């Protein structure tokens, strides 16, 4: 990827003796094990060397997994893991990291130096997620257009920061052409926000699939699916579950390359030392039956189910199981994929089995329902949409299925048509505009109803209650932290409106004053700041953070923003 980070510092945090024992006992779903953190340094090394050594590194990493029987460190998350020793904390703060971030997410930023906000020029807001806003921006050092995902932490709640730290650690572990690459982090010592820097991707699969006039050919569907499964294979080999595979999280660049994005719900897993995980993940339409039935012991099958839904959706031209509630979702699944066998109910011991076991049993009817699909796709769909996750193919097996080995073969990504920008967000805006125009004309009430129903059917939007975990955790945290809670589940604070556009990120026009470099003249859209040396990706661990203005604006500003947000809740 050509991007070089701050030099890799020595591994942080002793993992010996008592410390290891103490960590082992602590459990917290947010954190990840030390082993994983150590691996993340290797990954940074890999990216510095280019992707040529990727497979070799992956193999090395796999062989380094401890043999069965050997005492392993717990893979349970560890609340203290990210607390680096004091001297490292000091080094990180000196390097420009905010103290709160280093204190809670020291491991996630270990070995990296922050990029300065004023070296990016914000161009446009391109996406809004559950806990972030995403901007198109120009890197003024390289001229490259990037995507900046802005995460805000209002009260610097350690819990929220830890979730973000997990996302960063996971992203740092991954290095594959079909997985979005974290290219850097932007923040400053005084900031209470953090920007994640990614390659800018023009499209997402949901947006493309919903664009009027775009109908994928079989070889194009194969091309996208091959890339999705290759990315998933890499994640799973690196012991990462994505847990939110859906069209809007599959980004596509102008060269047709698909990258799995949004690792906000992702988690590390250890196949040899399984730990319970939450079942409240994956957007409803793509959520596998075992999660709907409350499974806490699951694995790569959850992502493969979602991949199966996407394959069928691409071929059908619309989402295949658009449930509105968890009960309706399960019902749709059973109607298409058959209700689980008695043997499965007994074997799986799923928590919600007694509540959700259907009175009548359903016969599996995938082949009849999709009889018009290419014949070679059916065995793959059958396998990915197996009710029993143990019967689902792995990503590796799926990649060698006859779907990919029979003609027409997957086309080359570079041969895909060049589409106009088409994010899911654009599709939503297009729908809204069309609806507005239809409502304004008021001439064909029946027609409006019909086309609304069609819009709903083709848009791969999660149901409002999808990602139920988000709400559940939000509620839980509200209870715990009362009025101060700003976090959502395994993600962070609620969406915020900070969309001042057209200014450099660090300019005084930007809504977040903590990014303002001090005593610097600004022009409206161009920013030149010459008081400190420009911090480059590969810059040394030196103090390059802008000095803070002597005023209380930062606090009062963030306070007023919090209040606004409170009133929106």
Does position 510 interact with ligand ATP (CB under 6 A)? The reply is no
Using the contact rule CB under 6 A, the part of the chain among 9-17, 83-91, 420-428, 499-507 near ligand ATP is: 420-428
* 423: its two tokens: 């994010």
346 labelled ligand-binding:
no
Q: Which of 112, 120, 131, 195 binds ligand ATP (CB under 6 A)?
A: 131
Residue 320 and residue 286: Cα distance in Å, rounded? 9
Residue 222 and residue 248: Cα distance in Å, rounded? 18
Using the contact rule CB under 6 A, the part of the chain among 75-83, 257-265, 375-383, 548-556 near ligand ATP is: 257-265
Does position 247 interact with ligand ATP (CB under 6 A)? The reply is no
136-155 binders of ligand ATP (CB under 6 A): 147, 149
Using the contact rule CB under 6 A, the part of the chain among 122-130, 295-303, 379-387, 393-401 near ligand ATP is: 122-130
Q: Which of 40, 110, 249, 422 binds ligand ATP (CB under 6 A)?
A: 249
Residue 432 and residue 436: Cα distance in Å, rounded? 6
CA atoms within 13 A on the CB side of 117: 33
Q: Give the interface size with ligand ATP as a residue count (CB under 6 A).
A: 24
Contacts of residue 390, Cβ cutoff 8 Å, sequence gap at least 6: 301
Q: How far is CA 555 from the centre of its chain?
A: 30
Does position 166 interact with ligand ATP (CB under 6 A)? The reply is no
| Comparison of 102 and 248: residue with beta carbon closer to ligand ATP | 248
Residues in the chain: 569
Q: Is cis: bond before 408, omega within 30 of 0?
A: yes
Q: How far is CA 79 from the centre of its chain?
A: 21
Does position 489 interact with ligand ATP (CB under 6 A)? The reply is no
Q: DSSP letter for 479, please.
A: H
- Do residues 48 and 5 lie in contact, with contact meaning Cβ atoms separated by under 8 Å? yes
For 174-201, the DSSP string reads ---TTB--EEEEE--TT-SEEEEEEE--
Residue 352 and residue 530: Cα distance in Å, rounded? 61
Neighbours of 239 (CB within 10 A): 24
Residue 524 and residue 59: Cα distance in Å, rounded? 50
Tell the burial category of 119 from Cβ atoms under 10 Å away from its Cβ (0-12, 13-18, 19+).
buried
Does position 126 interact with ligand ATP (CB under 6 A)? The reply is yes
For 406-422, the DSSP string reads SSSPPPPGGGS--PPPB
Does position 231 interact with ligand ATP (CB under 6 A)? The reply is no
Binding mask 263-302 for ligand ATP (x = CB under 6 A): -x--------------------------------------
Q: Where are the alpha helices (DSSP H) in 151-276?
A: 158-173, 205-210, 218-237
Using the contact rule CB under 6 A, the part of the chain among 246-254, 340-348, 371-379, 519-527 near ligand ATP is: 246-254
In the complex, least distance from residue 82 CB atom to ligand ATP, rounded to whole angstroms: 20
532-551 binders of ligand ATP (CB under 6 A): none
Q: CB nearest ligand ATP: which residue? A: 129
Q: Which of 47, 75, 130, 237 binds ligand ATP (CB under 6 A)?
A: 130
Residue 495 and residue 498: Cα distance in Å, rounded? 9
In the complex, least distance from residue 132 CB atom to ligand ATP, rounded to whole angstroms: 4
23-52 binders of ligand ATP (CB under 6 A): none
Nearest to 460 by CA among 283, 325, 330: 283
Q: Which of 154, 204, 218, 313 binds ligand ATP (CB under 6 A)?
A: 204
Specify the DSSP element, H or E, that contains 46: helix 34-49
Residue 58 and residue 48: Cα distance in Å, rounded? 15
Does position 129 interact with ligand ATP (CB under 6 A)? The reply is yes
Q: Which of 98, 114, 127, 413 binds ligand ATP (CB under 6 A)?
A: 127
- 244 catalytic? Reply is yes
Q: Which of 100, 163, 198, 268 binds ligand ATP (CB under 6 A)?
A: 198
Does position 201 interact with ligand ATP (CB under 6 A)? The reply is yes
In the complex, least distance from residue 324 CB atom to ligand ATP, rounded to whole angstroms: 18
One of 154, 244, 262, 303 is an active-site residue; which one?
Answer: 244
| Comparison of 132 and 220: residue with beta carbon closer to ligand ATP | 132
Using the contact rule CB under 6 A, the part of the chain among 29-37, 333-341, 384-392, 419-427 near ligand ATP is: 419-427
| Comparison of 393 and 422: residue with beta carbon closer to ligand ATP | 422
Map residue 122 onto helix, strand or coil: strand
| Comparison of 233 and 262: residue with beta carbon closer to ligand ATP | 262
Residue 162 and residue 477: Cα distance in Å, rounded? 14
- Do residues 234 and 258 lie in contact, with contact meaning Cβ atoms separated by under 8 Å? no
Residue 365 and residue 361: Cα distance in Å, rounded? 13
Q: Where are the alpha helices (DSSP H) in 482-512?
A: none
Neighbours of 430 (CB within 10 A): 17
In the complex, least distance from residue 206 CB atom to ligand ATP, rounded to whole angstroms: 8
Q: DSSP letter for 322, please.
A: -
311-330 binders of ligand ATP (CB under 6 A): none
Tell the burial category of 479 from Cβ atoms under 10 Å away from its Cβ (0-12, 13-18, 19+).
exposed
Does position 134 interact with ligand ATP (CB under 6 A)? The reply is yes
Q: DSSP letter for 51, please.
A: G
In the complex, least distance from residue 168 CB atom to ligand ATP, rounded to whole angstroms: 13
In the complex, least distance from residue 266 CB atom to ligand ATP, rounded to whole angstroms: 10
Binding mask 50-89 for ligand ATP (x = CB under 6 A): ----------------------------------------
| Comparison of 13 and 462: residue with beta carbon closer to ligand ATP | 462
Does position 493 interact with ligand ATP (CB under 6 A)? The reply is no
Residue 492 and residue 474: Cα distance in Å, rounded? 9
Does position 251 interact with ligand ATP (CB under 6 A)? The reply is yes
What residues line the site for ligand ATP (CB under 6 A)? 126-127, 129-132, 134, 147, 149, 180, 198-201, 204, 248-249, 251, 261-262, 264, 423-425
Sequence ranges of the binding site: 149
Sequence ranges of the binding site for ATP: 149
Residues assigned a catalytic role: 244
């Amino acid at each position: 990827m050509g991007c070089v980070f701050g030099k890799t510092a020595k591994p942080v945090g002793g993992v010996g003796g008592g410390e290891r024992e103490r960590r082992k006992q602590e459990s917290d779903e947010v954190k990840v094990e030390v082993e994983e953190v150590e691996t993340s340094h290797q990954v940074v090394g890999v990216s510095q060397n280019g992707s040529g050594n990727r497979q070799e590194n992956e193999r090395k990493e796999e062989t380094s997994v401890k043999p069965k029987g050997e005492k392993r460190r717990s893979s349970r998350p560890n609340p203290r893991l990210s607390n680096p020793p004091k001297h490292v904390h000091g080094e990180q703060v000196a390097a420009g990291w905010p103290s709160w971030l280093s204190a809670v997410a020291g491991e996630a930023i270990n070995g990296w130096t922050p990029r300065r906000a004023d070296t990016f020029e914000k161009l446009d807001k391109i996406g809004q997620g559950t806990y972030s806003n995403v901007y198109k921006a120009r890197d003024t050092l390289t001229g490259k257009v990037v995507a900046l995902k802005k995460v805000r932490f209002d009260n610097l709640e350690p819990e929220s920061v830890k979730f973000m730290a997990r996302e960063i650690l996971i992203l740092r572990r991954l290095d594959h052409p079909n997985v979005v690459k974290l290219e850097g982090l932007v923040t400053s010592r005084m900031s209470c926000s953090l920007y994640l820097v990614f390659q800018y991707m023009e499209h997402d699969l949901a947006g493309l699939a919903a664009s009027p006039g775009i109908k994928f050919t079989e070889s194009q569907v194969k091309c996208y699916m091959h890339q999705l499964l290759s990315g998933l294979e890499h994640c799973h080999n690196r012991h990462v579950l994505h847990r939110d595979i859906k069209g809007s999280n599959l980004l596509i660049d102008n060269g047709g390359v698909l990258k799995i994005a949004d690792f906000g719900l992702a988690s590390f897993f250890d196949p040899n030392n399984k730990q319970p995980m939450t079942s409240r993940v994956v957007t409803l339409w793509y959520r596998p039956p075992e999660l709907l039935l409350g499974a806490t012991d699951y694995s790569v099958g959850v992502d493969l189910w979602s991949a199966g839904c996407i394959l069928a959706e691409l071929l059908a031209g619309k989402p295949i199981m658009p449930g509105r509630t968890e009960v309706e979702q399960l019902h749709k699944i059973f109607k298409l994929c058959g209700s689980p066998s008695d043997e499965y109910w007994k074997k799986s011991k799923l928590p919600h089995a007694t509540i959700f076991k259907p009175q009548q049993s359903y016969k599996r009817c995938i082949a009849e329902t999709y009889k018009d699909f290419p014949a070679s796709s059916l065995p793959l769909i059958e396998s990915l949409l197996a009710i029993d996750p143990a019967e689902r193919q792995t990503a590796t097996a799926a990649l060698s299925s006859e779907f990919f080995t029979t003609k027409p073969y997957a086309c080359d990504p570079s041969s895909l048509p060049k589409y106009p920008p088409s994010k899911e967000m654009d599709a939503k805006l297009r729908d809204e505009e069309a609806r507005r125009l239809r409502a304004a004309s008021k001439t064909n009430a029946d027609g409006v109803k019909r086309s609304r129903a069609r819009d709903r059917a083709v848009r791969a939007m999660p149901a409002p209650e999808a990602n139920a975990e988000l709400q559940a955790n939000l509620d839980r945290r509200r209870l715990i932290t009362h009025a101060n809670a700003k976090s959502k589940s395994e993600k962070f604070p609620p969406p915020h409106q900070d969309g001042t556009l057209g200014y450099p990120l660090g300019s005084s026009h930007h809504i977040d004053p903590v990014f303002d470099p001090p005593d610097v003249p600004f022009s409206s859209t161009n920013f030149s700041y010459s008081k400190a040396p420009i911090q480059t990706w590969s810059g040394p661990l030196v103090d390059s953070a802008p000095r803070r203005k002597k005023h209380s604006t930062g606090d009062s500003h963030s306070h007023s923003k919090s209040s606004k947000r409170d009133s929106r809740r």
